[in-house]
Amino acid sequence: MAAARAAFEAGLRLAWINAPQDPQERAIRVLLIHSSQAKWKRTVASDYDVTGAGGDRWRQAAEAQENLVSRALDKTGSPELPKRVPPVAEQLRELNVDRLYSVPTRTIAYDQPGIEVESLYIIDGQRMLYLLRPFVIGTACPKCRNWSTFHIDGNANRKVALRA
């Protein structure tokens, strides 16, 4: 499933890059992706530094990618890049294919008290709802800002680690 989503998003990203008629706008989009990857590599380098594993190779890769972006920006004559690569939903909207990615929702009548708004539930065959929290939570990812589900992956020093 993850590979299928990755393939879908890679194809979407290529379509999004190629959408503008202006070749310079297409080049800016490619550079924006390189820039966001460089930022991600710097974050990985910092994470490795915190764990003591050392992030020098990630930092070098980020620097090389940042230099590539800088040189290419000089050639295009563009002063700066947009702040971020738009999320998948915005790319789909721009390409006018957002209906392909919509998540169906259903509304059910439910008279059991204590239902929490914006919490995740599963429903059984008898139409009983079971709260998934604290086992699984749904929230915006702090790194990519996309909505994701997370589960507890560890508990050390009274801090809980979440994993998508």
- Check pLDDT > 80 for residue 69: yes
- Check pLDDT > 70 for residue 106: no
Overall average pLDDT of the 78-85 stretch: 81
Q: What is the 3-state secondary structure (H, E, C) of the chain?
A: CHHHHHHHHHHHHHHHHHCCCCHHHHHHHHHHHHHHHHHHHHHHHHHHHHHCCCCHHHHHHHHHHHHHHHHHHHHHCCCCCCCCCCCHHHHHHHCCCHHHHCCCCCCCCCCCCCCCCCCCEEECCCCCEEECCCCEEEEECCCCCCEEEEEEEEEECCEEEEEC
pLDDT tens digits for range 6-38: 888 888 889 999 999 998 889 999 999 999 889
- Check pLDDT > 70 for residue 57: yes
